Structure 1
Amino acid sequence: MTEILPPAPSAATDLEAELAALARRYRGADGAAMRLLTQLGTQAETLLERLPDDLRGGLNGLTSRALEQAMGAAHSSRGWVGDQPAWAKTALATALGGFGGAGGLPGAMVELPVTTTLLLRAIQDVAAGNGFDPGAESVRFDCLEVFSAAGPLTARDDGADLAFLSTRLALRGATVQTLIARVAPRLATVLGQKLAAQTVPVLGAVAGATVNYAFTSYYQEMAQVHFGLRRLAIAVDRPHAELVEDLRARIAGQSPARK
């Protein structure tokens, strides 16, 4: 498949307004979700301690397998389920989290690969909405890069989060599996925290639903920033890396440097 390119460069594109909108999306990506998690009394730095030792040690492998299966399942689902609005995917993920959390850790383990597939499908839908073909290998790489952003249960690191905006797999002949191997360790920590949050006694179903709501909302917003910036770079005929730096400055509350 070939990549579907956004419209040709146009002077009508309001660069300043679009960058400001993307900066607002980035800053607000985990606001409401984090408030919900805080209300549950979830402490991200201690969540992983809830998991059994053998599970913590196998998180990287579990994450890699979940990503590999989810990549194929998310893309194949496009043939029989059309793009759905963001709220519909968020509602479905929330329901899945509730069912998984109600079953404790075993239920959460069954639910995890399904939710991972749903999250990737949601990211692919955002890519398509911005004019890119989710079947193109370069776009599949980008969808995985969105997952390399810190999740909503991880302490915010703007430098690490913004890295996904500018990172592309540079190695010639690299495969999706190569990228999965690079993304998996970072995502394993995030998914491990998700699993742990769903083991909270009594509140398992509520925690599962809330965490999935947070994850789906967060990654859809991160995808909008990621693919919105790529679309904007093409629309205004500006280097992508230059726009990344402009966006970084806006998020930090600085005036972007102009050349």
Structure 2
Amino acid sequence: MTGSDLLPARLSDELDVLAARLVAAEGTSIRLLNYIGGRAENMLEHLPDWAKDELERATERALGYAVEAAQVSRGRLRDQPAWVNTGFTTVLGAAGGSGGLPTALAELPVTTTVLFRAILGIAAAHGFDPGKPEVRREGLTVFSAAGPLEYDDGANTGFLATRVTLSGSTVRSVIARVAPRLSIVLGQKLAAQTVPVLGAAAGAATNYAYTRYYQQMAHVHFGLARLAREGGHDTAVLTEALRARLPRRV
């Protein structure tokens, strides 16, 4: 018998809900983005060399901007429902894709800010204070989840074992760790937006998928942290129990 078999019934039910969120996050997003990928094979090859070289640096800058802007905006604008965030980023994606690479690059920090702001709102819904540096750092780690275009066995739950408080870490160090992975996801998005014929449609579709995906992942991340905090459960045990609820892939 494993530690996860000994969990109380209420806790088991909540883990079932989080597992359903993980499955839902991958479902629509992967089907949609696989369709886009099928229409634009080797999408990253469509980016010019200078854009590929700049991508990770641009992602770091976008994350840094998002941390500051999202926190400031929380004092002026209340958190929005998931559908509002998704609708807003979908419109941003369409606008970014309508003008090719220049407008897509200009849209990147704005979309990243909206995504991060949505993640902070979800943290607050689970009882965490987004004004605390450790919560903002945890919000950034949500971006290190495997993106909808990529399936890496265990990657979607591996990051969940991170403690809510990252002792000794700074926001900048977390950004440096998250940026390489997020830049791959955003690179696919930028490339799709520059492909002839796809353009605005690809920008809207990718933003729609990413926003749904990261909001679901934020619920899983902070939901698991809340369960660990409320019941004093070991995060690794909860992560194991969550993983056991996911359907096996053939």
| TM-score under structure 1 length normalisation | 0.87
Q: Relative to structure 1, is the Cα distance of residues 98 and 171 closer, same or farther in structure 2, using a 3 angstrom cutoff?
A: closer
Q: Which amino acid aligns with 2:192?
A: A
TM-align CA RMSD? 2.0
- Ranges in structure 2 where 5+ consecutive residues have no aligned partner: 1-6
* 1:22 counterpart = 2:13: no
Q: Which amino acid aligns with 1:226?
A: H
Q: Deviating runs (4+, > 2 A) in structure 1?
A: 33-45, 167-174, 234-237
Alignment of 1:66-81 (within 5 A): 66-81=62-77
Moved more, 157-166 or 183-192: 157-166
- Please state how far the C-alpha of 1:252 moved relative to its aligned partner: 4.9
- Ranges in structure 1 where 5+ consecutive residues have no aligned partner: 1-10, 254-259
Corresponding residue of 1:174: 169
Alignment of 1:15-164 (within 5 A): 15-42=11-38, 46-153=42-149, 155-164=150-159
* 1:188 counterpart = 2:183: yes
Q: Relative to structure 1, is the Cα distance of residues 105 and 137 closer, same or farther in structure 2, using a 3 angstrom cutoff?
A: same
Report SS of the residue matched to 1:157.
Answer: coil
Q: Which amino acid aligns with 1:166?
A: A
Q: What is the alpha-carbon distance in structure 2 between the residues aligned to residue 44 and residue 218 of structure 1?
A: 21
- Please state how far the C-alpha of 1:161 moved relative to its aligned partner: 2.1
Moved more, 171-180 or 33-42: 33-42
- In the TM superposition, what whole-angstrom CA distance separates every residue of 1:189-223 from its partner, at most 9, and x where no partner exists? 11111111111212201110000000100000000
Asked if structure 1 preserves the Cα contact closer than 8 Å seen for 2:115 and 2:214, the reply is: yes
Asked if structure 2 preserves the Cα contact closer than 8 Å seen for 1:42 and 1:197, the reply is: no
Q: What is the alpha-carbon distance in structure 2 between the residues aligned to residue 44 and residue 77 of structure 1?
A: 36
- Please state how far the C-alpha of 1:171 moved relative to its aligned partner: 7.0
Q: Relative to structure 1, is the Cα distance of residues 246 and 181 closer, same or farther in structure 2, using a 3 angstrom cutoff?
A: same
- Please state how far the C-alpha of 1:159 moved relative to its aligned partner: 1.6
Asked if structure 1 preserves the Cα contact closer than 8 Å seen for 2:36 and 2:192, the reply is: no
The structure richer in helix per residue is 2
| Count of residue pairs the alignment pairs up | 242
Q: What is the alpha-carbon distance in structure 1 between the residues aligned to residue 18 and residue 167 of structure 2?
A: 31
Q: Relative to structure 1, is the Cα distance of residues 36 and 46 closer, same or farther in structure 2, using a 3 angstrom cutoff?
A: same
Report SS of the residue matched to 1:29.
Answer: helix
Asked if structure 2 preserves the Cα contact closer than 8 Å seen for 1:108 and 1:198, the reply is: yes
Q: What is the alpha-carbon distance in structure 2 between the residues aligned to residue 92 and residue 192 of structure 1?
A: 20
